[in-house]
Amino acid sequence: MSQTELRNLAEQDEDTLKGKYLIFSLGNDMYGMEIRYITEIIGIQPITEVPEMPEYVKGITNLRGKIIPVMDARLRFKKAVREYDDRTCIIVLDTNHTTIGLIVDSVSEVIFMEDEDIAPPPDIHKEGHRYIKGIGKTGGSVKMILDCQKLLMDDEAET
């Protein structure tokens, strides 16, 4: 298969994923992330702690022979710690050739949202929503749409 054919197939795959968001919860708050970044969703796994990491990085796990770092979304967003239960999931994300697991309270559904259904985040307290790409409006509810690349790559100064 030629490079052009491979590029066309990749663009077609991208088109079929456009506008699809995985919805998950952290407490009573609902979040969404573009499905194109998601490799899989797994139940909570044994996690090996790694010394001298930020608090929100829980450690590493072995996913079918591949070692991946695992981040707790609650701690990343400075929410209260909660015990993991049978609804707790790890969303395995891949962005810019980096794979990471994101621990969330639960996963609910995949929804489709048009670009016009997503508003920019409010201008108040910009630091508080550095990982929020937009606010999705579906039915009578809102979902905070995450910027996966910033979430995974932003190494804020731990002070």
Nearest to 91 by CA among 45, 130, 46: 45
Q: Which residues of 27-44 are buried (b: 16+ CB within 10 A; e: fewer)?
A: eeebbbbbbebbeeeeeb
| 159 domain-assigned | no
| 120 domain-assigned | yes
| 91 domain-assigned | yes
Count Cα neighbours of 35 within 13 Å in the Cβ-side half-sphere: 17
pLDDT of amino acid 86:
94
pLDDT of amino acid 41:
96
Domain count, the chain: 1
CA distances from 13 to 3, 63, 96, 137, 141 (A): 15, 25, 17, 25, 29
Cβ atoms of 146 and 131 within 8 Å: the answer is yes
Range of the domain at 77: 3-153
pLDDT of amino acid 3:
52
| 158 domain-assigned | no
CATH code of the domain in which 59 resides: 2.40.50.180
Question: What DSSP element (H or E) covers 79?
Answer: none
Q: Residue 157 pLDDT > 80, yes or no?
A: no
pLDDT band, very low/low/confident/very high, at 4 (cuts 50, 70, 90) = low
Q: Residue 15 pLDDT > 80, yes or no?
A: no
* Least confident range of 86-95, 108-117, 124-133: 124-133
* Least confident range of 12-21, 52-61, 71-80, 148-157: 148-157
Average pLDDT over residues 47-75: 94
How far apart CA 128 and CA 158 sit, in angstroms, is 15
pLDDT of amino acid 118:
86
Q: Residue 8 pLDDT > 70, yes or no?
A: no
* Least confident range of 2-6, 14-18, 30-34, 132-136: 2-6
Q: Residue 107 pLDDT > 80, yes or no?
A: yes
Q: Residue 71 pLDDT > 50, yes or no?
A: yes
